[in-house]
Structure 1
Amino acid sequence: MDSEIHKAARYDRQVRLWQRGGQARLEHSHVCVINGNTTSAEILKNLVLPGIGEFTIVDLKTVSDADLSGNFFLTETDVGSSIAEAICANLCELNADVRGNAVREDLLKLLNDSGFWRRFDVVVVTERIRKEQLERLEGILWPHNIPLMRVWTCGFSGAVRISRFETAVVDTHDPSPTFDLRLDCPWPELAAYADSFDLDELDDAEHAHVPYIVIYLKALEHWRKTNGSLLALPLSYPEKTDFRRNYVESMARNMGLETNFIEASQSIHRALQKTNVPASVAELFQRPETSDSSLRETKAPFWLLIRALKEFVSSSGGFLPLPGVLPDMVSTTSSYVLLQQIYRKKALEDKLTFLSIMLELHESLGFESDFDAETIANVCKNSALIHLSNGSQLNNHNNLLSRLSKSLEQSSDHNLLLVSYFGIVALDSLAEQESHDFSHFVQTFCDITRVPLQNLTEPIKNVLNELYIHNTSRYLNVCSYMGGIVGQEILKIVTAQYIPLDNLYVFDGIKSMSEKWKAL
């Protein structure tokens, strides 16, 4: 009991970000990092401190004097010992709740054991490994949808690319959510609540505290009767202006003093929000993964949730489950509490209906794993914000090459970030050669990007020259920065909250700028 209290106090601030469910997923996750270096240590530091369950470092090397440069998790006493064991031991001192493992095995040997890799939630490669080994590792992880993160630190530049077949997030924490108030299609209890207010009979104090939801419902009812439609909403700019002035503001007794009517006028977009299924979610309903045959074969929990949502929408007349969340508004406490109860009651009814559909599908399609109450609640609360993206493998550069070709016409600083990325890729491909000079490097860059040598502008050559001169992965400031970026992305993935990078990020430490792209 004392340990649980201690843990709650230690992780209090982050639990406010991703709730107890996210923290529980973090504490049950296992991340593998291939190669022990400064970037690895910085990444893992950002996972150990918030309480990741377990991490593994795979590296055969021993600590050299050069490894001490910029690595806060190695000391002089570690020289000559296993670099994986040394970094692991020093990281574990940061958090006694975390378990660390050091694996001193040849990577090629480990790649023969696919079961070794399938136990991880994320695998990170922080230093160059042979191309065929990287491809083999990706081939093991991709079918099981285990993210593979390739992280580069090259001089003052850094990059990370995520290889994952599918990324699905229910709890996206949208920074600007729209409230689902159903004002265009109120259910009977909400309509009855609005009808219970007779504005003409209220005294001035009561009139100035009528919740704007009631104001909107009465204004919409009046507008529809006037315009001869029971379903339409004001859509054009003149209609919206007319609605605000002659149907909302006109109900005020003193527009300059009644805060609730001022608030209603300023938030008019909420009254005119049409209730429907977002196109992004409707597209998911049409995906073949929701079919009976696919679900029986894959047993994919996410697609079962989508299938249940699809059936809920079909049975509810085209509506998603009501989240039941209200914005703040001017109102008496009693009126606002009663309004909250009406929305929460409807949200609970929708959740129970959704759960019933889920249980029926769960049984009929032969699923074995159960869904906890938090998952069901999150789906109902965030159904309009569900995010899904399909990724690409590391050797797929088609979209990036197309973007690069267009950007070469305008050599702006941001466009040159893609040059940095392909320059780093070119250095990777040369790493297995015994020797090479700058001209060989530039030619390799041109071969990869399919850009003729004569088309390279002076700014592009300057970027390539900078990469070639500073071809090292040990600059602490860049390693620390990339460690923060990668650590953040891993936290998104393992907590299954917020939207992870999709799927390439490049950083220029000289100009302090960055950019991201989707590589398809």
Structure 2
Amino acid sequence: MEIDKNTKYDRQLRLWETSGQSRLELSHICLVNATSTGSELLKNLILPGIGKFTIIDDGVVTQERISGNFFLSKHDIGKQLASSLCGKLNELNSDVKGNSICKSLESVLESEPHTFWSQFSIVAISDYVAAPRLKALKDILWSQRIPLIVVNTVGFYGSLHLITSETTVVETHDPARLYDLRIDNPWPELQELADSVKLDELSDTEHAHVPYVIIFIKALQEWRNKYGSPPKNYSEKKQFREHVVSMSRDIRTETNFIEASTSTHRALQTTEVPASIQALFDNPNVQNLTKSTPAFWVLLCALKKFTEANNGQLPLPGSLPDMASDSESYIKLQTVYKDKASRDQQQFTEYLMQMVKEIGSDQSQFTNETISQFCKNTHSLHVTSGTKKSYSTSMIENMISGFNSGNNSDEVHLLAIYFGILTLNALIEKSNSPISESNYDELTMLFIDEFAPGVTQLPDAMKSVFKEIAVHNSRSYHNVCSFMGGVASQEALKLTTIQYRPLDDLYIFDGVRSVSEKFKV
């Protein structure tokens, strides 16, 4: 029986709506190395409905591989790993198409042109890849602006590195976002609506259903008439709250005034361009638009022109919080906000289309939906710049100095885990053989040679981390693989839907101490 997609994906549509789901269904995810972690990563992307996936791996299924992978069984032993895993994963969701390439990454890099990789939305590497191949793939994907996720699991440790030149997000779903109500600076129509409400002339029932936006506009105007400027310090804000309460006929029963008394922070918001958005206006991408400039920066340039023409105000999103009110009063207020938002969006669109015409950009990428979502989210736009480097010297210095000073904080300990994983991968490449507890001394010496040549002796706390990696060097502890696969898939979902703020840009997990942290390389 065919299931309607709105029913099938009901829960996730509440998270990223149809726009996010549409992007997800158009995505093509590539997994390099069919490991347990990689299997979990793909599982968590196939179930919500990515478009396609491709697995690249030249290995065969062995007893060791099936022991840590729920998608493989003894019947798969001896078969191609990539095709066996692909077949099992294809059963999870009939909407998703899977493909396998039973070749090594090295072979694919040598035989395929760089354009081969352009078909993918994201490439994920699960666990070990030799440094030369990793660098080659990084360079290819970086030039094509395709995100690369490198996820490693070793014993009870894990790391995830998101490598992309730039990430831009419009729909961040920022939980700290405040409603833009413009109570401190009402436009003429909003002021007219507020003035039309004569509190003294209302019946008790009508008085108890005045939306608190109207209450705040009146209260703030009365305060300004008396004191000249809005409340600034704690004492003044407390007095303002008391003034709002005094406007009620019975604060015990008037729900609208009770709400107002607990929400005075909304009345005291300043209408201005956030510093983070102001900083984006100064970005070179905004200053130097060309035909090939990504759409986000063209939109941002139009936004800058809009704010310059509107006394430093962003387009009004037009959304209102729920509040105690009768339907008629709330709808009147809502209409005033929606009409203003519509006018702002129209003005913004005019600036945008003028700009698109001047630079010769593709107008079709700026749909009404794209413009509408941008105008609704201008307060919380998110931009990060990445790096191809796996680490920085400051990370090593902070870790070593932290251990030497007796600082065994979670941050220092997690950095030791990350460099332990990097060193393990380097040792695998150097020795070309499995690593065991007997390789502990080699592991510590290789770290010094590769990452810290000026260090003669590792701190004891750092040695214990390396010891743990040498002893528990398995990459198939399923609880850790499942967790790291889940974290990696979450980041992939953010990138494919272009919603929520993705990792910037390194995540490290310690399953022994149950702690984790993110770092900026």
For the aligned pair, the TM-score class normalised by the smaller chain equals over 0.9
* CA contact 2:292–2:361 (8 Å) conserved in 1: no
The DSSP-based 3-state class of the residue aligned with 1:55 is strand
Partner residue, 1:253 = 249
Taking only the aligned residue pairs, the percentage that are identical comes to 45
1:399 offset after TM fit, Å?
4.1
TM-score by length of structure 1 reads 0.94
CA distance in 1 between counterparts of 2:185 and 2:395 reads 45
Q: Which residue of structure 1 lines up, in the alignment, with residue 412 of structure 2?
A: 415
Q: How does 1:227-376 map to 2 (within 5 A)?
A: 227=227, 229=228, 232-245=229-242, 247-291=243-287, 294-368=288-362, 369-376=364-371
- Secondary structure of 2:220's counterpart equals helix
Contact 2:61-2:78 within 8 A present in 1 as well: yes
CA distance in 1, matches of 2:455, 2:298: 51
- Counterpart of 1:383 (choices 378, 383, 401) is 378
Secondary structure class of the residue paired with 1:296: coil
Gaps of 5+ in 1: none
Q: 1:488 Cα shift?
A: 0.7
Equivalent residue of 2:168, what SS?
strand
Residue-by-residue CA offset, 1:398-453 (whole Å, 9 max, x unaligned): 34224424532311344311111100111111112227831221122234442866
**Partner Cα distance (2:458, 2:177) in 1:** 45
Q: CA deviation at 1:513?
A: 1.6
Deviations 1:249-293 (A, max 9, x none): 2222223332222221211111110000001111111111013xx
Alignment match of 1:53 (pick from 51, 54, 58): 51
1:509 and 1:115 mapped to 2: Cα distance?
Answer: 39
Aligned length: 511
Aligned-CA RMSD value: 1.8
CA deviations 1:50-71 (Å, max 9, x no partner) are 1110011111122222211121
Where 2:222 maps in the other structure, the secondary structure is helix
Question: What residue in structure 2 maps to residue 395 of structure 1?
Answer: 390
Question: Is 427-436 or 372-381 further displaced after alignment?
Answer: 427-436
Aligned counterparts of 2:146 and 2:394: Cα–Cα separation in 1: 23
Shift of 1:21: 0.6
The Cα shift of 1:475 comes to 1.2
Deviates more, 1:475-484 or 1:398-407: 398-407
Structure 2 partner of 1:71:
69
Q: In 1, distance between residues paired with 2:199 and 2:453?
A: 72
The whole-number CA distance in structure 1 between the counterparts of 2:35 and 2:365 is: 40
AA matched with 1:284: L
C-alpha contact (below 8 Å) 1:110/1:116 kept by paired residues: no
Does structure 1 residue 143 correspond to structure 2 residue 143? Answer: yes
CA distance in 1 between counterparts of 2:332 and 2:202 reads 18
Q: Deviations over 1:187-223 (max 9, x none)?
A: 1110011111111111222222221111111111111
Tell me the residue number matched to 1:155: 155
Distance 1:346 1:405 in 2: 56
Q: CA deviation at 1:84?
A: 0.6
1:111 corresponds to 2:113: no
Query: What residue is the counterpart of 1:167 in the other structure?
Result: 167
Aligned to 1:13: 11
Secondary structure of the structure 2 residue equivalent to 1:474? coil
Q: How far apart, in 2, do the equivalents of 1:249 and 1:455 lie? A: 67
Residues 90/289 of structure 1: CA separation in 2 closer, same or farther (3 Å cut)? same
Question: Take 1:210 and 1:45, find their aligned partners in 2: how far apart are those partners?
Answer: 51
The match for 1:488 is: 490
Under a length normalisation based on structure 2, what TM-score does the superposition of the two structures give? 0.94
